[in-house]
Amino acid sequence: MKSKTKNSILKYIAKNNIKCNVAENTLQKIGMKKKFILIEGTDGSGKDTFASILVDKLKERFLYDENATLSIVGQPLSKCKRGEEALSFIEDKKNNYSKDVVGQILTENRIDTEKYFNKLGGITICIRGLLTDLATYYHVFGEEAASNLGQTIMIDKLIIVDVDSKIADNRITERGLPRTWREYFEYLVYFRDYYLKYESQLYREKIVIENIDLNQLDITTEGIANSLFISCLEE
């Protein structure tokens, strides 16, 4: 482990008054414990950029182990049960079914996806998942989906990468690509509001990150990586 990383961890411990008996000369990379992180945010918010920086920070702190890896995933997962149907509804808003049938499709996909996730060791980072599915369902049918669409995995950290909808809209325009339905301004506003207001017992911690610039993202990811390191160290 690099000295810069060690100093960052020690400063984090001191700043947060964490009772942890470590010193710079004893700090070293450790194996990952099983953690599930969900990253949500509107299109144009910078989810992928945030996730990429976080992955780099985690690699600076954790050992590679084929039985406890760092996995990057997304939902709905097309290779799992009813994946193509679930993906078509969430990504393209294609709907030829009743609300109950759509709910069943999304639930069956999530249950099968969780079986896959449960086989993964280490830290799993999901970029877009439950909240986007719930928000899409609510938008289409005007009511909340039943039973959290089958979600049972506890989310250790729910991270909302937030940015003003006008900024997200400008970023999407600058890409110069045809927009998906979620990328239009009215939906940027809708999804942002849903993410920020979401409350549930399915997560242990909710973190809202204002994506102002890369320097701020770097500082924030440093803190989250340190938090996960300490958590794994104490288990």
> How do residues 158-185 score in pLDDT, each as one tens digit?
999 999 999 999 999 999 999 999 999 9
Beta bridge partners of 210: 162
d(CA 27, CA 175): 43
d(CA 75, CA 227): 25
Strands 206-210 and 35-40: unpaired
CA torsion sign, 182 to 183 to 184 to 190? positive
Which structure tokens are listed for 73? 């995933």
d(CA 56, CA 73): 16
Which residue, 34, 37, 61, is CA-closest to 161?
Answer: 37
Beta bridge partners of 3: none
Sheet containing 123-127, strands listed edge to edge, beginning at the edge strand earlier in sequence? 70-73, 123-127, 35-40, 157-162, 206-210
137 in helix, strand or coil?
A: helix
CA torsion sign, 117 to 118 to 121 to 127? positive
Global confidence as pTM: 0.95
Q: Give the pLDDT confidence score for residue 161 in this predicted structure.
A: 97
CA torsion sign, 153 to 87 to 185 to 50? positive
d(CA 137, CA 155): 20
Domains of the chain: 31-214 (3.40.50.300)
d(CA 21, CA 76): 41
Burial 203-219 (b: 16+ CB within 10 A, else e): beebbebebeeeeebee
Does residue 68 surpass a pLDDT of 90?
no
> How do residues 8-51 score in pLDDT, each as one tens digit?
999 999 999 988 878 777 899 999 999 999 999 999 999 999 99
> How do residues 86-132 score in pLDDT, each as one tens digit?
999 999 988 888 999 999 999 999 999 999 999 998 999 999 999 99
> How do residues 205-217 score in pLDDT, each as one tens digit?
999 999 988 999 9
Q: Give the pLDDT confidence score for residue 23 in this predicted structure.
A: 75
